[in-house]
Structure 1
Amino acid sequence: MRRLMSGDVSGIDPEQLSRLSGMQIDPAMLQAVMNQLQGAFNGSQEGVDWSLAERQALHIANQDGLGVTTGQKTDLDQAFTLAGLWLGEATTISDLPRPPRVVTRGAWVSATLPVWQELAEPVATSIADALTTALGQQAPDDMQDMIAGAGRLMRTVGGSLFATQLGHVVGRLSTEVVGGGDVGIPVMPDGDAAILPQNFADFGRDLEIPDDQLALYLATRELAHARLFRHARWLRLHVISQVRDFAHGIRVDTDALEELATRFDPSQPDELRGALESGALLPERSEEQTAALTRLENLLATIEGWVDVVTEDATSRLPSAARIAEAVRRRRAVGGPAEQALGSLVGLELRPRRMREAAALWRAVTDAVGVDGRDALWDYPDLMPTSDDIDDPAALVARLTAASRGEAAPADAMDDALAQLLAEEASGGRDAGTDGSASGTDGSASGTDGDGSATGADGDDDAAPGDQRPV
């Protein structure tokens, strides 16, 4: 312990230390943590070491040792090819520049971890800050100088703890997701489409649907999702910014953290893991966070609703398409155990709660103005349907149909308010012109004298009607 606290971890056997502490931690992972602690003592590391998350996630993702067989890749490549042709009939949004990928769980972890890191970083920072604050508040006055020097260490410990737990959750998530768009946000780099064949069989096990139909439907949905984000290049940043708006308001409940510390048993690390995964360290959401979460949920529902409608039209030839679609909707509405754990860990549930209503909106728009008019709404951010449009699709449909006929769109509440504002401004301008300062009732500038008779600019009252003099 003396050597560990002095920063000298050379010669310490992590496996022996793990056995002595009773914590069932991978010795290699413990060695990495010890190295990071030594770096914190030496002042050579700043922030969270996210490589711990990647190691833990890959450790879980690669446990089964299975890869992608040649048969699986061939079948899914053929499904993607046919799905691309079907989508060409259902949407005007163009195909992807790169072919879709058939990836292992480990490859999915490596590709998507930067996005999970971006989502989790505000929480990791809050936990590290809370640990440092709690330590400073509880230490006696004569130890404050020493505690101040240990701030870097506590931030490193808190960040390492959270990074390891995030890796655990992402590793478990890799055993559940079927495609890159499963969680609603663009987690694959460069907008790529991908399917994980290791999880494909688990998804369709209880559906009693032929694998070829299931593969075609999932490939079509994955391509539609990836195509949308590639076409609307602003959309990814829009989604991530909504997530950041929520995440920046996250704070750690220091009282819950202190209570956990008083009864924490190192031989029972599951209690700490359970506290992190259950969200017990995150207090109730603020009003600002609730509003940000509502905006995000509406945005995700708008995206998922469009994908739902386009996939339905593209897979109309599949006999089991309706059953698969319902299974996908339920899966997105509930989420798997790892997805729920991720929501508790970062305080954010990526649920499109109004997906059915959003799908009804897109169906109404498609019926009214066709595929071209519908897909054009993704060209610019200000054209995209809002939450009010999800509530009342008729108003959006009326505006779009009027525009398609070259007519003025029906006035809505905003139009009425703007017209009233302009009318008030115009009325105020006319009133301002009756005091003589602008209208020139004194005859000095406007061309009228005091009794209202016409005058020239120099005050003469014999100006010819066609004589246009500068005023």
Structure 2
Amino acid sequence: MSNDPSDRPDDGQNPFKGTPFEQLFGAAMGGGAAGGPAGFPDLNQLFGQLQAMMQPYDGPVNWTLATDLARRQVAAEPDPTPSQRQRDAIADALRLADHWLDPVTPFPSGVQSTAAWSRAEWVEGTLEVWKVLAEPVAQQSVEAIGGALPPEARAQAGPLIGILGKAVGAIVATQLGSGLGGLAAEVLSVSDIGLPLGPQGRAALIPTNITAFAAGLDVGEDDVLLYLALREAAHQRLYAHVPWLREHVIGAVCDYARGIQVNAEGMQARMEEQLRGIDPTDPAAMQSLLEGGMFEMPKTPAQEAALQRLEIALALVEGWVDEVVHQATSERMPTAGKLQEAFRRRRAAGGPAEQTFSTLVGLELRPRRLRDASTLWGSLRTRQGIEARDGVWMHPDLLPTAADLDDPLGFREDASKPEALTEDDFDAELKKLLDGE
């Protein structure tokens, strides 16, 4: 007799009859170790083991697990609390940075307070924004998995869907914890990756990471600190005085989440492949299952569009920061060119932590088009001045597009700085206006 559940007599107990889930849940309801196909585990036992591994938590992500994992990863290396001397040095550098930025952008200072953070404090200080970024993705993943089932199957599989939800929440928490712990060892400031991760107006730098970063450069640590303070202060100005920008960036992640769809047949094939040979009583095997992308889903066109909007927005933010810091330092800091190139290479290369988040939500933390964006902003400033350059941020519809980044020197190439009118010219133009011309 065939071991395929679809070949067995239909006893009316399998609500998935005739769907891509028939074999998968047929095994769960009566097969595997309890009499199902050889090498295919009892999914009741499998999900029971998953449920036993997961502590109760509210919401789509187990944030307690994610935070604990990140803190443990951070604690694996020395993470001293910044000294008062370091806090004072960072506050002084940020004040000087704002003074240098005043002549090169009409946006006033956005720094309301300063801080020197340890790596662990960075994890805690940015956690609320990571919740906003990650929870829609996890929640929509669970809903998409449930929505892929036929209605009659969904009604009978309610408890199973709940367990799947906890499994997704555990997967996301594990990946987030690992990613946050890795990022904490790499980031140099709260705005380092371009996202508005901290409380509004709170400029924070991580001295332990700055010291390690400066050790690999042929530049004094004081110059590195000031250059980082300039970048942080520029980020703070932009997000403080472009009120729609924070929502625009975070909204792109939420749009990505809303576009999640599940291909039921494809998910069944992936689950079957990964479940074969898994021993549900072996914690190591279960952990490999959770880390093996069991619930990974291909991106939809809507998601690809949302991610492109996010990547372009981050590139424009980083390009603008690169441009204004270059203007502020061009005549004051001889080492600025070397530091600018070091930061551009760092942005382009990324690291393991960025790859973790890219795998999780497809989020590109290191914009690949930084150089193009910086060139675009610089060209616009040269032709029209800093007010016209920064005026582009008045509305999201005015922002350069991906096509504009393909030709950064051509953005508004027909526009030039308006010439000042003489008094006679002004009178002549006013007369034309009044005469209805």
Q: TM-score band (shorter)? A: 0.7 to 0.9
Q: Counterpart of 1:260 in structure 2: which amino acid?
A: Q
Report the CA distance between 1:258 and its aligned residue.
Answer: 3.7
For the structure 1 residues 219 and 250, does the alpha-carbon distance in structure 2 shift closer, same or farther, using more than 3 Å as the test?
A: same
Aligned residue in 2 for 1:468: none
Instruction: Find the partner of 2:333 among 301, 318, 325.
Output: 318
How many angstroms apart in 1 are the aligned matches of 2:111 and 2:233?
A: 12
Q: Counterpart of 2:310 in structure 1: which amino acid?
A: L
Report the CA distance between 1:67 and its aligned residue.
Answer: 1.2
Aligned residue in 2 for 1:285: 299
Instruction: Find the partner of 2:83 among 53, 64, 69.
Output: 69
Aligned residue in 2 for 1:214: 224
Aligned residue in 2 for 1:464: none
Where 2:113 maps in the other structure, the secondary structure is coil
How many angstroms apart in 1 are the aligned matches of 2:92 and 2:365?
A: 31
TM-score by length of 2: 0.73
Q: Counterpart of 1:48 in structure 2: which amino acid?
A: V
Post-superposition CA distance 1:190-233 (Å, at most 9, x none): 14322111211222222121101111111101110111011101
Residue 148 (1) aligns with residue 161 (2): no
How many angstroms apart in 2 are the aligned matches of 1:32 and 1:172?
A: 28
Structure ID, larger Rg: 1
Residue 338 (1) aligns with residue 353 (2): yes
Q: Residues 223-372 of structure 1 correspond to what in structure 2 (within 5 A)?
A: 223-251=233-261, 254=267, 255-264=269-278, 265-268=282-285, 271-272=288-289, 274-276=291-293, 281-316=295-330, 317-372=332-387
Q: Counterpart of 2:114 in structure 1: which amino acid?
A: P
Report the CA distance between 1:337 and its aligned residue.
Answer: 0.9
Report the CA distance between 1:270 and its aligned residue.
Answer: 5.7
Q: Which moved more, 1:203-212 or 1:163-172?
A: 163-172
Ranked by relative contact order (alpha carbons within 8 Å, sequence separation 6 or more), the top structure is: 2
Post-superposition CA distance 1:414-440 (Å, at most 9, x none): xxxxxxxxxxxxxxxxxxxxxxxxxxx
Where 1:177 maps in the other structure, the secondary structure is coil
Report the CA distance between 1:83 and its aligned residue.
Answer: 1.2
Residue 102 (1) aligns with residue 116 (2): yes
Q: Counterpart of 1:211 in structure 2: which amino acid?
A: E
Residues paired across the two proteins, number: 362
Report the CA distance between 1:31 and its aligned residue.
Answer: 13
Where 1:215 maps in the other structure, the secondary structure is helix
Report the CA distance between 1:341 and its aligned residue.
Answer: 1.0
Structure 1: give runs of 5+ residues left out of the alignment: 1-29, 40-44, 407-471
Report the CA distance between 1:172 and its aligned residue.
Answer: 1.9
Post-superposition CA distance 1:382-438 (Å, at most 9, x none): 3333334334455544454265668xxxxxxxxxxxxxxxxxxxxxxxxxxxxxxxx
Report the CA distance between 1:238 and its aligned residue.
Answer: 1.0
Where 2:385 maps in the other structure, the secondary structure is helix
Contact between 2:171 and 2:290, CA under 8 Å: does it hold in 1? no
For the structure 1 residues 103 and 369, does the alpha-carbon distance in structure 2 shift closer, same or farther, using more than 3 Å as the test?
A: same
Report the CA distance between 1:133 and its aligned residue.
Answer: 8.1
How many angstroms apart in 2 are the aligned matches of 1:109 and 1:224?
A: 22
Instruction: Find the partner of 1:88 among 98, 102, 107.
Output: 102
Where 2:69 maps in the other structure, the secondary structure is helix
How many angstroms apart in 2 are the aligned matches of 1:46 and 1:378?
A: 35
Post-superposition CA distance 1:31-66 (Å, at most 9, x none): 996541xx7xxxxx5643323222322332344342
Report the CA distance between 1:147 and its aligned residue.
Answer: 4.6
Q: Counterpart of 1:266 in structure 2: which amino acid?
A: P
Residue 58 (1) aligns with residue 53 (2): no
Contact between 2:312 and 2:402, CA under 8 Å: does it hold in 1? yes
Contact between 2:137 and 2:361, CA under 8 Å: does it hold in 1? yes
Report the CA distance between 1:96 and its aligned residue.
Answer: 2.0
Q: Counterpart of 1:344 in structure 2: which amino acid?
A: T
Instruction: Find the partner of 2:133 among 94, 102, 119.
Output: 119
Report the CA distance between 1:271 and its aligned residue.
Answer: 2.7
How many angstroms apart in 1 are the aligned matches of 2:126 and 2:228?
A: 19
Structure 2: give runs of 5+ residues left out of the alignment: 1-49, 422-437
CA RMSD of aligned residues (A): 3.1
Report the CA distance between 1:154 and its aligned residue.
Answer: 3.6
Contact between 2:69 and 2:178, CA under 8 Å: does it hold in 1? yes
Q: Counterpart of 2:73 in structure 1: which amino acid?
A: I
Aligned residue in 2 for 1:183: 193
Contact between 2:214 and 2:221, CA under 8 Å: does it hold in 1? yes
How many angstroms apart in 1 are the aligned matches of 2:286 and 2:345?
A: 34
Report the CA distance between 1:294 and its aligned residue.
Answer: 2.2
Report the CA distance between 1:320 and its aligned residue.
Answer: 1.5
How many angstroms apart in 2 are the aligned matches of 1:127 and 1:374?
A: 40
Instruction: Find the partner of 1:192 among 188, 199, 202.
Output: 202
Post-superposition CA distance 1:115-139 (Å, at most 9, x none): 22222224423554577689x89xx
Post-superposition CA distance 1:309-364 (Å, at most 9, x none): 10111122222211111111111122121111111122222332221111111111
For the structure 1 residues 300 and 150, does the alpha-carbon distance in structure 2 shift closer, same or farther, using more than 3 Å as the test?
A: closer
Aligned residue in 1 for 2:399: 384
For the structure 1 residues 123 and 372, does the alpha-carbon distance in structure 2 shift closer, same or farther, using more than 3 Å as the test?
A: closer
Contact between 1:48 and 1:159, CA under 8 Å: does it hold in 2? yes
How many angstroms apart in 2 are the aligned matches of 1:233 and 1:179?
A: 21
Contact between 2:191 and 2:232, CA under 8 Å: does it hold in 1? yes
